[in-house]
Amino acid sequence: MTQPINSLAQKVLTIAKEAGDKIMAIYEKDFAIYEKQDTSPLTEADLAAHNVIVNALEAESDLPILSEESADISWDERKTWSSYWLVDPLDGTKEFIKKNGEFTVNIALIENGKPTMGVVYAPALNKSYVGIVGDGAWTEVDGEFTAISARKHDGAEVWKVVGSRSHQSPEIQNLLAQLDGDTELVAMGSSLKLCLVAEGDAHLYPRLGPTSEWDTGAAHAVALAAGANVTVLDPENPLDDNADALTYNQKESVLNPFFLVSA
């Protein structure tokens, strides 16, 4: 079949898979766990994947890189960037440690505050998501690409809502109560949660907990390319049709506001 993605996206996909190979080599054995300053677990795999991605992107492009593992770049410098690479070498570290397979390599191209291309690779699942805003979104398994698109609720079916495996917050319950009809929780780890909406396997993903920009950038691009929306979520008015789009590198903090992914 004809290759549906452009050469740059293919190169980024190749880089993500190379990082995934490093991750899987560590995943399949016992691994060391260090402590970050925020006490979240940091494994050998994060660092190995980071090094692969940064070295390959620097060889491919002159654009700056913001990675979770090299995030100490000043706002004075970052605010001058119009385009840059946004990287999470291993999203879902806790899923990695649990060995449930639901972790990803995330690489996004951000232009003027918006994700325009993203690759999400789940190495343990041998599945990739590629999104090029304006061109389309695909899953990729063993070199075979399948076009995907977000699927709107048809008004009669059960609402499929992506959420945490743990107890749902009152804010989430408030959102679910506003939906007309029955709801079903779809549990998933890492940036794969956004990809479920992009792929049409869920209608909504409300995020009412902390995330950083590198957690979402790549899957955000996939969601947009698949026809979904990613908007800032107001817990008091969670289904606001006029909500602002989620943006990147527009402020000193790299923390995201609450957001909603919807078909």
Binding residues for substrate, as ranges, are 68, 90-93, 215
Q: Please enumerate, by residue number, every residue annotated as part of a binding site for Mg(2+).
A: 68, 88, 90-91, 215
Q: Which helix (H) or strand (E) holds 136?
A: strand 136-141
Q: How far out from the chain centre does Cα 244 lie? A: 19
Report the candidate in 196, 84, 79, 180 with the shortest Cα–Cα distance to residue 137. Answer: 196
Report the candidate in 118, 55, 115 with the shortest Cα–Cα distance to residue 249. Answer: 115
Q: Is 17 helix (H, G, I), strand (E, B) or coil?
A: helix
Say how many C-beta atoms besides its own lie within 10 A of residue 61's C-beta.
16
Give the whole-angstrom CA distance, residue 43 versus residue 47: 7
Q: Which helix (H) or strand (E) holds 221?
A: helix 213-225
Give the whole-angstrom CA distance, residue 39 versus residue 143: 38
Those residues with Cβ within 8 angstroms of residue 103's Cβ, 6 or more apart along the chain or in another chain: 23, 90, 91, 92, 93, 95, 96, 122, 123, 124, 189, 190
Q: Please enumerate, by residue number, every residue annotated as part of a binding site.
A: 68, 88, 90-93, 215
